[in-house]
Amino acid sequence: MNQAVEHHCDLLIIGSGAAGLSLALKLANHCQIIVLSKGPVAEGSTMYAQGGIAAVFDEDDSIDSHVQDTMEAGAGLCEKAAVEFTASNAKKALEWLINFGVPFDQERDPHGGSRFHLTREGGHSHRRILHAADATGAAVQTTLVDAVRQHPNIHLFERYNAVDLIKSRQHKKKVLGAYVWNRNREHVEVIRSRFVALATGGASKVYQYTSNPDVSSGDGIAMAWRAGCRVANMEFNQFHPTCLYHPQARNFLITEALRGEGAYLKHADGTRFMPKFDERAELAPRDIVARAIDYEMKRLGADCMYLDISHKSADFIVKHFPTIYRKCRSLGIDITREPIPVVPAAHYSCGGVMTDFNACTDLDNLYAIGEVAYTGLHGANRMASNSLLECVVFAHAAAEHIQSRLTQDEREENIAPWDESKVGNSDEEVVIQHNWHELRLFMWDYVGIVRTNKRLERAMRRIELLKQEIQEYYANFRVSNNLLELRNLVTVAELIVRCAMERKESRGLHYNLDYPEQVDNPTPTILTP
Per residue in 317-359, pLDDT (tens digit) is 988 888 889 999 999 999 999 999 999 999 889 999 999 999 9
* Residue 466 maps to a domain: yes
CATH classification at residue 466? 1.20.58.100
Rounded CA gap, 529 and 526, in Å?
Answer: 10
* Residue 209 maps to a domain: no
244 and 342: one domain? Answer: yes
* Residue 70 maps to a domain: no
Burial 494-521 (b: 16+ CB within 10 A, else e): bbbbbbbbebeebbbbbbbeebeeeeee
Give how many domains the chain has, as a whole number: 2
Per residue in 453-498, pLDDT (tens digit) is 999 999 999 999 999 999 988 888 888 889 999 999 999 999 999 9
Angstrom distances, CA of residue 212 to CA of 290, 345, 357: 17, 9, 26
Cβ–Cβ < 8 Å for 198, 366: yes
Query: How long, in residues, is the chain?
Result: 529
* Residue 461 maps to a domain: yes
CATH classification at residue 245? 3.90.700.10
Largest pairwise CA distance in the chain: 73
If we measure between CA atoms, which residue out of 316, 206, 314, 209 comes closest to residue 253? 209
Report the DSSP pairing between strands 366-368 and 187-198.
parallel
Residue 163 backbone dihedrals phi, psi, to 5 degrees: -100, -55
382 noted as active-site residue: no
Amino acid symbol at 473? Y
* Residue 519 maps to a domain: yes
Given a cut of 70, whether residue 50 has pLDDT beyond it is no
Last residue within a domain, chosen from 346, 364, 393: 346
* Residue 320 maps to a domain: yes
* Residue 259 maps to a domain: yes
* Residue 336 maps to a domain: yes
Domain that residue 501 falls in: 429-527
Alpha helices in 44-193 (DSSP H): 45-48, 63-73, 80-88, 90-100, 136-150
Last residue within a domain, chosen from 346, 377, 410: 346
Given a cut of 80, whether residue 384 has pLDDT beyond it is no
Residue 101 backbone dihedrals phi, psi, to 5 degrees: 105, 20
Active-site pick, 128, 286, 455, 507: 286
Last residue within a domain, chosen from 328, 346, 364: 346
Report the chain's mean pLDDT, rounded to a whole number.
Answer: 91
Per residue in 392-438, pLDDT (tens digit) is 999 999 999 999 999 888 778 888 888 887 788 777 778 888 999 99
